[in-house]
A and B are shown apart, each in its own frame.
Chain A
């Protein structure tokens, strides 16, 4: 089973298929907007759904490494960059939808709004922090930065995950409606928690200095 999945993932069609799948929400939203399928308030629907998809892509990105390790699927690694860039794509669309539909691209109004409303500030910060990650996602940038620096920089995604959940929580707090927020928070917390456990385990392995302590492998 595992070898079969690995084989599928390493097929030359795997990446194009993943690309099309990740693009489907965008295609759907554009089509639905054009056909007036988004209900009474299409602007709000586009703002919310692009945000939803940015969050979902964030979950996908952060799920790749735990899945790769736990399920023994090394081929998953090559999808990480694409997923990350799609998260950025939907996050930028989300920001764009807000700037356009809510603020009419009035930069002064947007600046005022960001300063005034903490939940907008948090969301905006998340997109700003994502930008250097997207800009350094290609191979030459990784080489130029050096693997270690690159990895340090890209750990920003953990902070971004936190900001994204805070942004969502704060938006929903106005209506006391936390059910969906809790789902995303739980998923992201377990994905980040897994990393924390790995980190602690690794630390324990690296420092076998306690006399008499036996490490089990």
Chain B
């Protein structure tokens, strides 16, 4: 019996064991062709995942908005092997209460949002507070494509190819002080361009927050685009947060202020109903919302009318990456 050890190194005894370069390149080309939809839809999904798995291919931009220069992400967990939700659903089915409570409202009304000029105020316990213009933010770090699951607290989910960089890059840039423990994100609240600001549904502006270590986690994304292009207004243009292991409402949209504090921020939904929306709000099928179950979810555009809903994953499937942030915590208590 032939036993190979590390000492043998990476060698192939026979030349014919090696796949010829022409062949594997051909396979990649074929996969790309299939992914582009030249073959049946079912196969296209498989091929798209295979093409993505090679880490060199990006989602095809729909050509609706200015494109962003993007590279694929090398980060573990940054590109789920699931079919991205159709662009029309990603931009047409949104919760963005500043523009109305119906999920069709943001797409219908967000055109009034003025995203230029735009700046983000850095406040609180940092060495370098001040205003950062959008141009500066865009150049702060290279843009990556991150294909994340998005799980809404309402029980539906999507897979969205975001464009942005780790929020940690910005945090390191502004240098938080040693006593900074939390980060607060404040969304724009302009009653002139946002028709629903002023309604009694929530306290405006919309405020969200993370623990500093959550904010520093590389998966926490400062997003500027989706599907290879700048963010459509209804998705939180021009800059928003994406925290893929938390319910969607934790990811503030159209951010104008980032504040570093030593106290847990009072977040919008927590203020509205503390027993229903906790500060952490990590996706967790074992901790139900008081009025509905979180055990399952409906994947938009994929789970047909009559398909049973799919099981929701702990930390939305990012447990391997973020589980250690909550080691020893009672997740039922800190929901």
* A contact residues vs B (CB 8 Å cutoff): 33, 39-44, 46, 100-102, 104, 106, 113, 116-119, 170-171, 173-177
Q: Is B280 an interface residue (CB 8 A)?
A: no
Q: When each residue 271-296 of chain B gets 1 if its CB lies under 8 Å from chain A and 0 otherwise, what string results?
A: 01100100000000000110111000
List the A residue with the shortest CB-CB distance to B93: A40
Q: Is the CB of A117 within 8 A of B308?
A: no
CA of A174 to CA of B294, assembled, Å = 14
Q: B300 an interface residue at 8 Å Cβ cutoff?
A: yes
Enumerate 27 A-B pairs (CB-CB under 8 Å) in ascending A order.
A39-B104, A40-B88, A40-B92, A40-B103, A40-B300, A41-B93, A42-B305, A43-B298, A43-B305, A44-B156, A44-B298, A46-B305, A101-B306, A102-B309, A104-B307, A104-B308, A104-B309, A106-B308, A113-B293, A118-B291, A171-B291, A174-B276, A174-B289, A176-B200, A176-B201, A176-B202, A176-B273
Within 8 A of A (CB), among B224-272: 272
CB-nearest residue of chain A to B100? A177
Interface membership of B89, Cβ < 8 A:
yes
Bound-state Cα–Cα, A104 to B304, Å: 12
Secondary structure at the A interface, as helix, strand, loop or mixed, is helix
Q: How far is it, in angstroms, between the C-alpha of A171 and the C-alpha of B300 when the chains are bound?
A: 21
A56-B202 Cα distance, complex, nearest whole Å: 28
Q: Which chain B residues numbered 74 to 133 have a C-beta less than 8 Å away from chain A?
A: 88-89, 92-93, 101, 103-104
Determine how close the nearest CB of chain A comes to the CB of B226; give it in whole angstroms.
15
A41–B293 touching, CB < 8 Å: no
Q: Which residues of B contact A104 (CB under 8 A)?
A: 307-309
In addition to A116-B288, A171-B291, A176-B272, 15 A-B residue pairs with Cβ atoms within 8 Å of each other are A39-B103, A42-B305, A100-B306, A101-B306, A104-B307, A104-B308, A104-B309, A117-B291, A117-B292, A117-B293, A118-B291, A119-B291, A174-B276, A175-B201, A176-B202
A33 to B304, CA, bound (A): 11
With contact pairs A113-B293, A117-B292 given, residues A41 and B201 touching in the complex (Cβ less than 8 Å): no
With an 8 Å Cβ cutoff, the count of chain B residues facing the other chain is 27
Closest B residue by C-beta to A100: B306
* Measured CA separation A18–B104 after assembly (Å): 31
Chain A residues with CB under 8 A of B156: 41, 44
Min CB distance B168 to A, Å, is: 32
Most buried by B among A44, A106, A119: A44
> Chain B's nearest CB lies how many Å from the CB of A32?
12
Do B291 and A41 touch (CB < 8 A)? no
| Contact B291 A170, beta carbon cutoff 8 Å | yes
B301 at interface by CB-CB < 8 Å: yes
> Which residue of chain A has the shortest Cβ distance to B158 in the bound complex?
A40
Closest 6 CB pairs between A and B? A40-B93, A104-B308, A40-B89, A176-B201, A177-B101, A40-B300
Residue on A nearest B94 in the bound complex, by CB: A40
Measured between beta carbons, the chain A residues less than 8 angstroms from B200 are 176
| B254, chain A: closest CB distance, angstroms | 19
Contacts of A106 in B (CB 8 A): 308
A175 is contacted by which of B101, B293, B298 (Cβ under 8 Å)? Answer: B101
